Amino acid sequence: MRIDKFLSNLKYDSRCEIKSFLSFHDVKIDGIRILNPNFEVNPITDIVYLDQKLILCKYPIYLAINKPQGYLSANKDKVNPYVVELLEDPYNRFDMQ
């Protein structure tokens, strides 16, 4: 997978903007700074850091959440709060299905 797709899938920026994103942020894969958006990354085996912070990129990921009263068991709702809103970084970067 290309690094631009990898970072955009994790909602760091759009694929179009990743080129400038890479020049402003310190993205390292296995200790090597990445500036090329076409760089190939394996999200399963490569260790990726963004500004000296490890990016969680394990697939698949399984989460268990205790649903508080008043929250819906849904991914989105326009009226009521929903349980996926409770997820914090880095788990809020994943698309829940």
Domain boundaries, the chain: 3-54, 60-97
pLDDT for 93 equals 64
* Residues 80/83/86/89 CA torsion (nearest 10 deg): -120
pLDDT digits (tens, 9 = 90+) for 27-80: 998 888 989 889 998 888 888 898 888 887 666 677 777 888 888 887 777 888
Reading phi first (left if > 0) and then psi (alpha if -120 to 50, else beta), residue 31 is in: left
What per-residue confidence (pLDDT) applies to 19?
Answer: 84
Question: What tens digit of pLDDT does each residue of 4-42 get?
Answer: 888 888 878 888 888 888 888 889 988 889 898 899 988
Integer Cα distance of 49 and 28 in angstroms:
5
CATH of 3-54, one of 1.25.40, 3.30.70, 3.10.290, 3.90.1200: 3.10.290
Name the pTM for this structure.
0.64
pLDDT-based confidence at residue 94 (cuts at 50, 70, 90): low
Amino acid residing at 66: N
